[in-house]
Copies of this chain bind each other. A is one copy, B any other.
């Protein structure tokens, strides 16, 4: 059918601070996000109103040796014995929890649900994180051949360069833009611009009595292999998202109920999900994801809107190339035009279509199972004019989108929001 039986509203949204927190586990992170979410609800809310928990998590199993997170987090939120479930689709885990929360209300089963996402990644050493993430790619045909995620996205980056003439500098520009946004987001893990990171490094060198680095500007800094080494050509350190601990929550309810809690609900008017072949060598293209195109098409159709109607979007920039691919898969630009759009500043905070005002995965951080819901948190704030500080966009946002990818594109989920 592709048409929901009931209209869905988002009435609360909050996230934990993203970062590396050695003294916090999944429980602590979820609790922090839950409290911030509750505090965002305007009026009349009681935790007892919550009927179920939909929780996204990629692999607390491998990161923390803890499975079965949903009843654990439900208990923490005071929801026992209500239904609580976990969804897992790699980095799209909580975007899909959001979708399932929507369907649960649309189905008539529930009127109000809590949707969360959480991931605690930094207990493992970097190699352990890389291996754990690589478990979201094809273990038999990719991981065992030595390919991990930077390598998978690097292949997409190389293909994009070959096919569309995209330059390494275009990847860098995406990173610079997202760091500029994250610098304005108090919840971001890396809330510093690339220029500020460069300045810190210069100051540190001076303090240590080392020769002063000769970087002219942030682009010059990113070209320096000692500051920005290749992880997997053409993806360099500043092209990769972060390893992050964090959580995010939103409260969804039926249209009728929403008015009890706020005068300014945000409606989720479109939801779409798609899949792609598991291993990238089986795909018809390395520069586009069928999962994303299919999810976007489904969401646009349900919402009755077109790409041009979307004013802001949070897109899944796990690597800078992923943002360029998303820009085309979502129909915002043609694939051959995305690099020029970035060069022209179209996707910057003051551009024609700001992308990742939160800082994106690149700067806000990427606690994989929390990312999907954290994208919704940003949209909720931006649409209600509540984004902290200077990252609030200057225009009234009537229509927005989130795009959350799992693995190398095996999963994708897209949501469209209206006032």
Q: Would you mind naming 6 contact pairs between A and B with Cβ atoms under 8 Å apart?
A: A68-B90, A80-B276, A81-B275, A84-B89, A84-B275, A87-B87
A207-249 to B contact mask, C-beta < 8 Å, 1/0: 0000000000000000000000000000000000000000000
- Check if A278 sits within 8 Å of B86, measured CB to CB: no
Residues of B within 8 A of A411 (CB): 68, 70-71, 84-85
A138 to B76, CA, bound (A): 13
Query: A66 an interface residue at 8 Å Cβ cutoff?
Result: yes
Query: A139 an interface residue at 8 Å Cβ cutoff?
Result: yes
Known: A5-B107, A61-B62, A68-B406. A82 touches B274 (CB 8 A): yes
- Check if B275 sits within 8 Å of A74, measured CB to CB: yes
**CB closest chain-B residue, reference A294:** B81
- Check if B103 sits within 8 Å of A61, measured CB to CB: no
> Could you tell me which residues of chain A, from 69 to 113, have a CB within 8 Å of some CB in chain B?
70-72, 74-75, 79-90, 96, 100, 102-111
A71 to B410, CA, bound (A): 6
Query: A35 an interface residue at 8 Å Cβ cutoff?
Result: no
For chain A, give the interface size range. 35 or more
Count of chain copies: 2
A285 to B361, CA, bound (A): 44
> Could you tell me which residues of chain A, from 1 to 39, have a CB within 8 Å of some CB in chain B?
1-6, 25
**CB closest chain-B residue, reference A278:** B72
- Check if A67 sits within 8 Å of B58, measured CB to CB: yes
A343 to B6, CA, bound (A): 50
**CB closest chain-B residue, reference A79:** B275
Residues of B within 8 A of A53 (CB): 275
A61 to B134, CA, bound (A): 11
Contact of A108 among B62, B86, B106, B135 (CB under 8 A): B106
Query: A125 an interface residue at 8 Å Cβ cutoff?
Result: no
**CB closest chain-B residue, reference A96:** B85
Query: A398 an interface residue at 8 Å Cβ cutoff?
Result: no
A280-307 to B contact mask, C-beta < 8 Å, 1/0: 0010000000110111000000000000
- Check if B67 sits within 8 Å of A135, measured CB to CB: yes
